[in-house]
Chain A
Amino acid sequence: MSNVITKQKQNPVTMTAKPSLGPQSWWEINWQSMKANKHGYVLMAPYMLLFLMFTVLPVLMSVIISFTYFNMLEFPKFIGWQNYSRLFLEDDIFLIAVKNTMLFAAITGPVSYLACFLFAWIINELQPKLRAFMTLIFYAPSISGNVFFIWLLIFSGDRYGIANGFLIKWSFILEPIQWLKTEHYMLAIIILVQLWLSLGTGFLVFIAGLQTVDKTLYEAGAVDGIKNRWQELWYITLPSMRPQLMFGAVIQLTTAFAVADVSINLAGFPSVNYAAETIVTHLMDFGTIRFEMGFASAIATVLFTLMVGTNLIVQRLLRKVGE
């Protein structure tokens, strides 16, 4: 209760409500505060309405539908946990999808996160013109839309593909390798392309964060006996950038769990022996081809739990860094 009042005092713009006499209940204070901020609700209304309709409501619907049998024609029928037990106990391909998704997330998540930071950190040392150019080079793949089809030409299965062509020319191999049709190359190539695409928003956030670190801290550090750039990074740069580091982690982790487009475009849909199946492609299989909406919603709910759960755990861990 007192919280509301002190907060209002910090922000004089909101002091428009008439001060009323006598003791007030919690409800009255909230109501007054709501009336005083009427324009705030009006300004937020259009966005929040759409946000609730296209993001919050669908998440709730997805959880509810996941407990039903639903084929888009008949009214959904409640079947309890059956979708989930079928998913984890009977669906072998789902287990491949989970394994692949975890593998992609465990590799592309941390590696892309570290890469974003490392390259932002090195680029930050450059002259402004060169810095802008290198930022463009690293950021360009993530905004070039469907250009990752170029990797199809690089890893094409005949000898005209760049990879095969050079390997044959230099006599490492004698006949072309079917890169995107062989199970154990497929995953590695998808990870490679995914990493190539992954220096996106998180990378820009780090570039920006590095430029806002207080320059006098470095000079003070040098006086206090910081000897090299590694100590400078550990004792000054990283602690000053904690907020950006946390935001970058959310962006990189969330995309690391959602590998699908690259897998579909490079390895095919479905891929050979389902070797490149991910949770998202499995979801698309049941949602847009087989129309088992209840089952697909169960997959979506598992994916949602996995993404949000991992993010929350990582946020807790990062909060401890430098404490």
Chain B
Amino acid sequence: MNFTLQLRKKRVNRSFMGSLLLFGFLAIVGAFMALPLVYAINAAFKPLDEIFLFPPTLFVRNPTMTNFIDLMTLLGNSWVPFSRYIFNTVFITGVGVVGHVLLASAAAYPLAKYNFPGKEILFTTVVLSLMFTPQVTAIPNYMVMSWIGFIDSYWAVIVPAFAFPLGLYLMKQFMEQIPDALLEAAKIDGASEYRIFWQVVMPNVKPAWMTLVILLFQILWATDGNGFIYSEQLKTLHFASNQIIQGGIARAGVGAAVALILMSVPITLFVFTQSKIIETMATSGMKD
């Protein structure tokens, strides 16, 4: 016992066989997780004759940019200029994410730091809403949208995203760990509640912002309009890319190319924000 402890000071209680078993398992499942993505990346660079080759290959032999060039040609021929789809998605994602971070933080601050009548029921309702998916409310939502005249506009996607419940929940849990002493000090210095929120609380929850940003970003980036957007010039990038993919066999290569471009954006964002997100998620637990 003493000897093994000296050998690995950092890790107590780690048998070699156990490590081998677990890391071996991790490697195998990791390969299963990665292979479809690797295949997708390779498919994007395959010439058409290589996509339909027997026996099929996982890795590309003669990488070519043909698919991307075809994609450009295809985009040049579309009825609505392709930059319009890009603008639509960027606009929806940008406005939605910024609005959500602001509104959810503003709502999370009182829930985390004050006691007032109605707090319990409001927060319980938010937690309950994490327990079902948006499909449940799709039909009444359409009616609500049509009453307020949001049908066939960006706002039908953007405004409900402002009130995305998971974001409020994570932000509230994260804000609870801000020390009360900090808020009191600001209070004594004569700051108003709104100023405390904006100048004391907000700078302290930057990791949580990034988490809300990436969670909502990936949802809005992949939105196809949720069935609310009909005008071709308002449709999103994801909708356009789905139409390319649904072109079937003839579009297999181009489809892979467009999927690669679309997926690289949220993945890159995650690579740069990973540590912030982990920091936020650490506080996400549900209290008894």
Chain A residues within CB distance 8 Å of chain B: 4, 7-8, 11-14, 30, 33-34, 36-37, 39-41, 43-44, 46-48, 50-51, 53-59, 61-62, 65, 115, 119, 122-123, 125, 132, 134-141, 143-151, 153-154, 159-162, 165-166, 168-169, 196, 199, 201, 204-205, 207-209, 211-212, 218-219, 222, 226-232, 241-247, 250-251, 253-255, 257-258, 260, 280, 283-284, 287-288, 293, 296-297, 300, 303-304, 307-308, 311-312, 315, 319
Kindly list chain A residues whose C-beta atoms are within 8 Å of the C-beta of B58. 162
Specify which chain A residues have a CB less than 8 angstroms from the CB of B126 in the assembled complex: 51
Sorted nearest first, the 7 A-B pairs with minimum C-beta distance are A243-B285, A40-B110, A208-B281, A47-B107, A58-B137, A58-B140, A165-B56
Q: How far apart are the CA atoms of A251 and B51 in the complex, in Å?
A: 37
Residues on the A chain within 8 Å of B43, using CB: 150, 153
A12 near B163 with CB under 8 A, answer no
Q: In the complex, what distance in Å separates the CA atom of A304 from the CA atom of B129?
A: 10
A226 to B40, CA, bound (A): 45
Q: Is the Cβ of A33 less than 8 Å from the Cβ of B286? A: no
Q: Which of A12, A139, A204 contacts B180 (CB 8 A)?
A: A12
Cα separation A62 to B142 with both chains bound (whole Å): 11
B245 interfacial contact with A, CB 8 Å = yes
* CB contact between A4 and one of B106, B115, B288 (< 8 Å): that residue: B115
Complex CA gap A304/B130 in Å reads 11
B262 within 8 A of A: yes
Nearest A residue (CB) for B266: A143
From residue B187, how far is it (CB to closest CB) to chain A in Å? 6
Check B39–A154 contact: CB distance below 8 A.
yes
B residues near A (Cβ < 8 Å) are 11-15, 18-19, 22-23, 25-26, 29-30, 32-34, 36-37, 39-40, 43, 51-56, 58, 103-104, 106-107, 109-111, 113-117, 122, 125-126, 128-133, 135-141, 143-144, 159-160, 162-163, 165-166, 168, 180, 183-184, 187, 192-194, 197, 214-215, 218, 221-222, 227, 238, 241-242, 245, 252, 255-256, 259, 262-263, 266-267, 270-271, 274-275, 277-282, 284-288
For B218, the chain A residues whose CB sits under 8 A away are 143, 145
Pick from A40, A54, A168, A311: contact of B141, CB below 8 A. A54
Question: What are 7 A-to-B residue pairs whose CB atoms are below 8 Å?
Answer: A39-B193, A41-B116, A136-B270, A141-B36, A207-B281, A226-B13, A254-B131
**A12 contacts which chain B residues (CB < 8 A)?**
180, 184
- Expressed in whole angstroms, the Cα–Cα distance for A319 and B133 within the complex equals 23
Contacts of A159 in B (CB 8 A): 54
Min CB distance B21 to A, Å, is 10
Contact pick for B270, options A7, A14, A143, A165, CB 8 Å: A143
- Cα-based distance from A48 to B118 in the complex (angstroms): 12
**Which residues from chain A contact B275 at a C-beta distance below 8 Å?**
132
